[in-house]
């Protein structure tokens, strides 16, 4: 699996598996375990998804060494009121997942007292509970403000990126400050007829690839980490099979 280097020298797998909107108590466990068996080594969850426990259980039951799996979770807005609430939120995520550390932990949105929440994450980062810290859904102005006024520059910013929402400005500012861009909803949640779009279908035919593979390859070639969600095993395999071609 291709990886990108974060600004603290940690390596992040170039393609991740997202579990947003997959229910806890079974479905997330099954999907995560299937993804790991398919070859994914990057799993993205969040406190707000309410399925951290299923992700953690699947990791333990996979038989794969923990050091080989990159796990991301996120601090939800109710835990961003102050430093103490953020500390409690971080500990709750670790407890629910049953993990000793997260490879990446993000502020889910630029809400509440996110500067105090960030300082709590910096503390957990220094303690080794979080191997890297970053943000999610931060517009360029909020990202730059945080990057210039904190001890630890965010390693990642996770935002919506897809062919209909290409985020050129976000990519410029994230790159300028050494922040890795991640893409949620790379398939635009299936909207706007993305999988039957004539241009994307034509490109896919040229390379003998699906529209989904073309989109994921386009993101990786832009230096963006896509997070694709699916509960279908054949689609999991397909979404990983993007490293044997290059878009012109």
What is the CB neighbour count within 10 angstroms for residue 149?
Answer: 9
Please indicate whether residue 173 is annotated as part of the active site. Answer: no
Question: Which residues on adjacent β-strands are paired with residue 73?
Answer: 105
Comparing CA positions, the residue from 245, 223, 236, 237 lying closest to residue 14 is 223
Q: Which helix (H) or strand (E) is 119 found in, with range?
A: helix 114-126
Q: Which helix (H) or strand (E) is 5 found in, with range?
A: strand 3-5
Burial 219-239 (b: 16+ CB within 10 A, else e): bbebebbbbbbbeeeeebebb
Question: Of residues 29, 49, 125, 173, which has the active-site annotation?
Answer: 49
How many angstroms separate the CA atoms of 226 and 65, rounded?
Answer: 23
Indicate the DSSP class of residue 130. Answer: B
- Cβ–Cβ under 8 Å, residues 220 and 244: no
Burial 106-138 (b: 16+ CB within 10 A, else e): bbbbbebebebbbbbbeebbeeebbbbbbbbbb
Catalytic residue numbers read: 49
């Amino acid at each position: 699996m291709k990886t990108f280097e974060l600004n603290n020298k940690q390596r992040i797998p170039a393609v991740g598996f997202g579990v947003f909107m997959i229910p806890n108590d079974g479905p997330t466990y099954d999907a995560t375990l299937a993804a790991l068996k398919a070859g994914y080594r990057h799993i993205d969850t969040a406190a707000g998804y309410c399925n951290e426990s299923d992700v953690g259980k699947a990791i333990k039951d996979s038989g794969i060494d923990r050091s080989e799996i990159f796990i991301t979770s996120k601090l939800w807005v109710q835990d961003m009121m102050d430093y103490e609430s953020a500390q409690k939120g971080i500990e709750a995520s670790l407890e629910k997942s049953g993990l000793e550390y997260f490879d990446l932990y993000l502020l889910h949105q630029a809400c509440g007292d996110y500067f105090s929440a960030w300082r709590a994450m910096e503390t957990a980062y220094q303690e080794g509970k979080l191997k890297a810290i970053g943000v999610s859904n931060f517009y360029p102005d909020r990202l730059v403000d945080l990057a210039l006024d904190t001890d630890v520059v965010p390693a990642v910013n996770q935002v919506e990126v897809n062919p209909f929402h290409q985020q050129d400005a976000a990519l410029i500012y994230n790159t300028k400050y050494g922040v890795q861009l991640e893409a949620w909803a790379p398939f635009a949640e299936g909207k706007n007829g993305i999988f039957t779009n004539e241009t994307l279908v034509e490109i896919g035919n040229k390379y003998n690839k699906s529209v989904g593979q073309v989109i994921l390859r386009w993101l990786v070639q832009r230096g963006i980490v896509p997070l694709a969600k699916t509960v279908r095993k054949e689609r999991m395999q397909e979404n990983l099979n993007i490293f044997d071609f290059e878009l012109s």
